[in-house]
Amino acid sequence: MRVRAGRAGVQSGLVGAAPHDDGAEALVGCPFQSDVRADVGDRDEMLTQAGERVYERLEPDEALLASGYQGPRDRARVTELMHGLVDRVAAFPTGFLALLELRLEATRRPESREVLTRRIRADVDTNINYHQKSGLPGDATTVVLLYLALNWLILEALTLPDLFSAEHRRDLVTTLVDRLLPDGPGSQ
């Protein structure tokens, strides 16, 4: 069963939906509206399904994943990939912000927390495995640190876009990679 969801989940807040709401009105206009059923009566189920769907939409496609295996295996390539990641995720602001809203909801709803924890843990593990298989410099901790720092940078860009200019955000991504990774190709 899928939930019909929309941008209003971010704008009006999934948190603000009453426990008896069927979710249709609370989620009208979300980025995955056509994939969610309006007849879901259980708010926990609706939020769980919405969390799964938002995360699906944020995943990269196969062509993008394949492109990460191309090119040199050095810090400059990691920097290029991280710039692409930030740009791709920031280009889907309603999804990223809906996921943030779902994270906040998960602080109050154990079922939502379980789904998001499982989903995000799988994503982190996938990113670590991908990074290691690709031969790019850095280790599992590097990937986790990039994940944590870049997620917050994206959040700042979407919620407080004037805090750091686009150029400053770009410089921050470059500096982050430079400081996390040693010099030289293939350095671990």
Asked if residue 5 has pLDDT above 60, the reply is no
The pTM for the full model equals 0.74
Cα–Cα dist 180/188, whole Å: 11
Confidence of residue 20 (pLDDT cuts 50, 70, 90): very low
Asked if residue 17 has pLDDT above 50, the reply is no
Which residues are within 8 A (CB) of 155 and not within 5 positions of it... i.e. 6 or more apart?
96, 100
Which residues are within 8 A (CB) of 12 and not within 5 positions of it... i.e. 6 or more apart?
26
What is the rounded average pLDDT of the residues 7-32?
42
The architecture of the domain spanning 8-180 is Orthogonal Bundle (1.10)
Please work out, in degrees rounded to the nearest 5, the angle formed at the alpha carbon of residue 51 by the alpha carbons of 56 and 130: 40
3-state DSSP helix/strand/coil percent for the chain, to nearest 5?
A: 65, 0, 30
Phi and psi at residue 24, in whole multiples of 5°?
A: -60, -50
Size of the chain, expressed as the number of residues it contains: 188
| Radius of gyration from C-alpha coordinates of the chain | 18
- Asked whether 21 and 15 are in contact (CB, 8 A), the reply is no
Confidence of residue 150 (pLDDT cuts 50, 70, 90): very high
